[in-house]
Chain A
Amino acid sequence: MSRTAALYGAVGVAALLAPLVFPAFQTQLAFLWVMVLFALTWDVMGGQMGYNSFGNVFYLGLGMYVTAVVQRDLYFDVEEYAHVAGAVGTLSAGEYLTGLALGLALAGVAAVLAAAVLGSGILGLRGHYFAICTLGLGIAAGEIAGGIDYIGAGSGLVTPVFPDALGRRGMFFYYLFFALAVATFFTLRWLYAGRFGLAINAIRDDEDKAEAMGIHTTRYKTVAWCVSAFFLGIAGGGVGNLVGFIDPTDVAFAGATFGVWMVLMAILGGKGTLWGPVIGAVIFHVTQELFWTYLFGWQRVALGALIIVIVVFFPQGILGWVRQRWPERFGHRVDEEARAPGGGA
């Protein structure tokens, strides 16, 4: 266990130093943690509980809008912010941080509330029906957001300009997302280790049996979605500010990019495991950046080929493959071994 702690420490130190050692890559590194957050939060439902959600991007977009609206409405006049020509003024560091902190907090709350309400309805569905329903959720949200003038409708919403006094923008968001990813990771680790983890795994393995055993499945499922939504909502608030411009369908409820990537990264790394989504997100983000640079014009083709390779050769994800290849390495703990064959299912 102490060895594990040492390795956690090493990863932590490396992560803390990364933006200082590579200052030119701060934004990409910040997005790396965003990707890790995407994959981790998706895996709560898709991996641990076996409910493939294609609509998690809904909470991302919700968080973006809530945060941006709070930031805007605290200090600006809505009409003026959207229309009046000429400078609308910049925020001081204090104002910016207040707006952002309040916005992120409310984003988390809003996402949890939305997940609780939606979950109690949608989570009665199973399998393909649930997947399709959540797919519709993300698409509908984009179209609805595109019709609400208060949040900029189709013209989108620009987040306040990052004040100079707070130093480097990339660095700020790097540590914000790093902290959030660490908090998410350890919260999930704690949750998976306890009764909650066992319950949602039971739901994945056999929901009817789990229910027969006295587990309040709908309650657990809704809570799981709320946990996922909470962290994703906060992440969304940060992503909106990092991107700087919130377009309803291309940035906020971007099902075809962020929405698909979440699923892909978790599967790539090995869904239903704690480290799988992290590894998947890292590998996905790095390959994507490499393809973008070196296979210019063909990056999507290359990405498609990568996905095929993953699905064909690593159906259990990288971690699942490693476990099958070297099961003795995982053999010390009974629960790990028990989980291994179904790890990627």
Chain B
Amino acid sequence: MTSLTTRVGMLAAGLAVGGLLAAGPAMAKVEGDTIVFGAAVSFTGKYSTNGKHTKNGYDLAAKRLNDMGGIEVAGKRYNVKIQYYDDESTPARNAQLAERLINQDGIKFILGPYGSGPTKGMAPIIEKYKIPMVEANGASRSLFNKGYRYLFAVLSTSEQYLAEAINLAAKLSAAEGRRVQDLKVAIAVENDPFSQDIRAGVIDDAKRWGMRVVIDDKLPKELNDMTATLTKVKAVKPDVLVVSGHSKGAALAIRQVHEMKVDVPMLAITHCEAADVIGKFGAAADYTLCATQWDETMSYRDGWFGSAGDYAKTFQAAYGYVPPYQAAESSAAVLVWADALKRAGTFDTEAVRDALAQTDMQTFYGNIKFDETGKNIAKPMVLRQIQNGKLVPVAPVEFAAKKTIFPRPMWSER
């Protein structure tokens, strides 16, 4: 090896160290009268739509807290600021960004990323550094069986998302005098942690009712086509079709079920609002059942945003669109931080962690109380049906404004 190449190598090494040093704007957890939260959210990549909802939710809550004088900790009021990074929708990035937030930016309070995969990438790191994270968009149940102590989730776990649809189908069919055991279920879900959990929940409930799962398809992550599954649906005529694949999957299901005129008595999907299926497909989206973490007609309220409906109005005024639940739960995560920091009365991460664990509060988003694994056990999932272009809560019955239209009218009769 010649000396020049070695010298170029040395230069590069020097550059590396210098560059990495420059790569981190120094920032403390609390600067003067500002508390800095850290978040690595998907601004680019396949989760970018939901990443935006997540950021808007965080920002709206931060702004509301600041407008109301900030968070009170030990008698002093602090403003809220959020340091963002882009995880590019890949969990490989989240581990690095978690370290960056904690080590380089000195952040002690973390807000979660969007999606179960990215959250899984982040959780082991925050656990390692004993830095608490309140997350609002990582619903996979496998996040909550690793014994993580510093992970708190305000949302219902993903196996609950569409299980309620199975129960609803069972009850409605029984009311019609059909044998529940005769019902056939078709499942088409994306091959990612979130949707696979949804599948697990649906299968558990179908088994409980003695239903038969006739189609059980995995859809690729580059979700552009599900005609193969829908052709099977046309052939075997299941009573319930369950589809999950984040926003892309929702739009795809509605579009292709319509295009292929697939008649199925019940179609249940996730991410209706985030994908704006009503705006995109209009009447073609009617009668679809949509799982949601939150509905603006619910009776929850808090001292920051008021009622769920008030939150929806505030959000709409700020960002110009109806808040999907991804935004609502993100705002709720910030409120959980505000509540816990106030109760802790200190910035000591252990004390704050313990305060988080004891959270028992109501927000516009729902009740929040964590079990020992860190997941919220105080809030049910809601199922809404699109009726005449509107999302109407239909299950569970205590929130149900209207009855489910079941079975869906045939395409030929619409």
Docked Cα-Cα span, A299 to B44, in Å, equals 10
Contact B142 A242 (CB under 8 A): no
Whether A274 contacts B99 by the Cβ 8 Å rule is: no
**For the complex, is B221 an interface residue (Cβ under 8 Å from A)?**
yes
Contact pattern, A 263-281, Cβ under 8 Å of B = 1, otherwise 0 = 0000000000111001100
| Cβ 8 A contact of B6, one of A7, A27, A251 | A7
Check B9 against A329 for contact (C-beta < 8 Å).
no
Most buried by A among B15, B191, B193: B191
Which single residue of chain B is at the shortest CB-CB distance from A146?
Answer: B191
**By DSSP majority rule, is chain B's interface helix, strand, loop, or mixed?**
helix
- Quick one: which of B4, B104, B197 contacts A25, CB cutoff 8 A? B104
Q: Identify which of A111-119, A154-162, A195-203 touches chain B.
A: A154-162
Contacts A154-B218, A318-B8; A90 near B3 (Cβ below 8 A) = no
Which of A80-88, A102-110, A125-133, A221-229 lines the interface with chain B? A80-88
Which of A245, A279, A322 counts the most B-chain CB atoms under 10 A from its CB? A245
- Which 6 pairs, one residue from A and one from B, show the smallest C-beta to C-beta distance? A87-B147, A154-B191, A244-B124, A286-B19, A24-B103, A27-B99
Using A11-B10, A297-B43 as known contacts, list a sample of 13 further A-B pairs with CB atoms less than 8 Å apart, ordered by residue number in A. A7-B3, A8-B6, A22-B17, A83-B142, A83-B145, A87-B145, A153-B196, A156-B120, A169-B128, A254-B90, A282-B13, A285-B16, A330-B2
Q: Does A122 make an interface contact (CB < 8 A)?
A: no
Is the pair A290, B95 in contact by a Cβ cutoff of 8 Å?
no
B121 touches A245 (CB 8 A): yes
Contact among A18, A161, A169, A282 with B12 in the assembled complex (CB-CB below 8 Å): A282
Contact B8 A322 (CB under 8 A): yes
Question: For the complex, what is the distance from the CA of A14 to the CA of B7, rounded to whole Å?
Answer: 14
- Assess the A90–B95 pair: CB atoms within 8 A: no
Q: How far is the CA of A249 from the CA of B195 in the complex (A)?
A: 15
Q: Find chain B residues with CB under 8 A from A26 CB.
A: 99, 103
* Bound Cα distance A300, B93 (Å): 14
**CB pairs A–B below 8 angstroms (26 shown):** A4-B1, A7-B7, A8-B6, A22-B20, A25-B21, A25-B103, A28-B100, A31-B96, A85-B144, A85-B373, A87-B145, A87-B146, A88-B145, A154-B193, A154-B196, A155-B192, A244-B120, A254-B90, A275-B1, A282-B15, A290-B22, A290-B23, A292-B86, A296-B86, A297-B44, A326-B4
Contact A296 B84 (CB under 8 A): yes
Q: Does A94 contact B (CB under 8 A)?
A: no
CB atoms of A11 and B193 under 8 A apart = no
Give chain A residues whose Cβ lies under 8 Å from the Cβ of B88.
300
Q: Judging by beta carbons under 8 Å apart, are A251 and B92 in contact?
A: yes
Chain A nearest CB, measured from B246 CB (Å): 13
Contacts of A31 in B (CB 8 A): 96
Chain B residues, CB < 8 A from A155: 140, 142, 192-193, 196-197
A336–B1 CA distance with the chains assembled, in angstroms: 9
Given A25-B104, A85-B373 in contact, is the A243-B44 Cβ separation under 8 Å? no
- Residues in chain B near residue A274, CB distance under 8 A: 1, 5
CB A331 to nearest CB in B, in angstroms, measures: 9
B residues near A285, Cβ cutoff 8 Å: 16
- Are the CB atoms of B92 and A254 closer together than 8 Å? yes
CB distance from B9 to the nearest CB of A (A): 5
Q: How far is the CB of B383 from chain A (nearest CB, A)?
A: 24
Chain A residues with Cβ below 8 Å from B127 are 161
**What B residues does A3 contact at CB under 8 A?**
3
Complex formed: what's the CA distance from A6 to B50 in Å? 53
A328 to B99, CA, bound (A): 45
B90 touches A251 (CB 8 A): yes
- B20 and A156 form a contact (CB under 8 A): no
- Asked whether, in the complex, the Cβ of B2 is within 8 Å of the Cβ of A282, the reply is no
Q: Which residues of chain B are near A14, meaning CB under 8 Å?
A: 13, 17
Chain B residues lying within 8 Å of A330, measured Cβ to Cβ, are: 2, 4
CB A7 to nearest CB in B, in angstroms, measures 4
User: Is residue B295 within 8 Å, beta carbon to beta carbon, of the partner chain?
Assistant: no
Residue from B2, B12, B25 in contact with A336 in the complex, judged by beta carbons closer than 8 Å: B2
Question: Does residue B141 face the partner (Cβ distance < 8 Å to A)?
Answer: yes
- Does chain A have a CB within 8 A of B396? no
Q: Is B190 on the interface with A (CB-CB < 8 A)?
A: yes
Most chain B CB within 10 A, of A243, A319, A330, is at: A243
Task: Tell me the complex Cα distance, A89–B146, Å.
Answer: 8
- The proximity string for B residues 80-113 relative to A, scoring 1 for CB distances below 8 Å and 0 otherwise, is 0000111011111001100110011000000000
* Cα A189 to Cα B44 with chains together (Å): 40
Question: In the complex the two chains form, what is the Cα distance from A202 to B366 in whole Å?
Answer: 69
Closest Cβ–Cβ distance, residue B167 to chain A (whole Å) = 21
Is A187's beta carbon under 8 Å from chain B? Answer: no
Scoring A residues 1 to 34 as 1 if CB is less than 8 Å from chain B, else 0, what string do you get?
0011001101100110010001111111101100
Residue B172 interfacial (CB < 8 Å) = no
Q: Is the CB of A206 closer than 8 A to any CB of chain B?
A: no
B9→A11 contact, CB < 8 A: yes
Residue of A88, A156, A286, A333 near B16 (CB, 8 A) is: A286
Known: A28-B100, A155-B196, A156-B193. A86 touches B3 (CB 8 A): no
CB neighbors of B among A329-345 (8 A): 329-330, 332-333, 336
Q: Is the CB of A158 within 8 A of B120?
A: yes
Residue of A nearest to B121 (CB): A245
Within 8 A of A (CB), among B179-208: 190-193, 195-197
Cα(A133)–Cα(B12), bound, Å? 34
Contacts of A85 in B (CB 8 A): 141, 144-145, 373
By CB atoms of chain B within 10 A, which of A27, A87, A143, A336 has the most?
Answer: A27
B282 sits at the interface (CB 8 A): no
Interface membership of B125, Cβ < 8 A: yes
Residue of B nearest to A154 (CB): B191
**When chains A and B are docked, how far (Å) is the Cα of A336 from the Cα of B2?**
9
- Specify which chain A residues have a CB less than 8 angstroms from the CB of B6 in the assembled complex: 4, 7-8, 11, 275
| B348-396 at interface with A (beta carbon < 8 Å) | 373
Q: In whole angstroms, what is the CA distance A232 to B218 when docked? A: 30
Write the nearest CB–CB distance from A187 to chain B, whole angstroms: 15
Chain B residues, Cβ within 8 Å of A273: 5
Query: When the two chains form their complex, are residues A28 and B23 in contact, meaning their CB atoms are under 8 A apart?
Result: yes
User: Which of A11, A161, A257, A275 contacts B124, CB < 8 Å?
Assistant: A161
One digit per residue, 1 when the CB lies within 8 angstroms of any chain B CB and 0 when it does not, for chain A 244-263 equals 11011111001001100000
B120 touches A24 (CB 8 A): no
A143 touches B220 (CB 8 A): yes
Known A22-B20, A330-B4: A292·B85 in contact at CB below 8 Å? yes
B117 on interface, CB distance cutoff 8 Å: yes
Pick the contact of B96 from A27, A82, A297, A326 — CB < 8 Å? Answer: A27
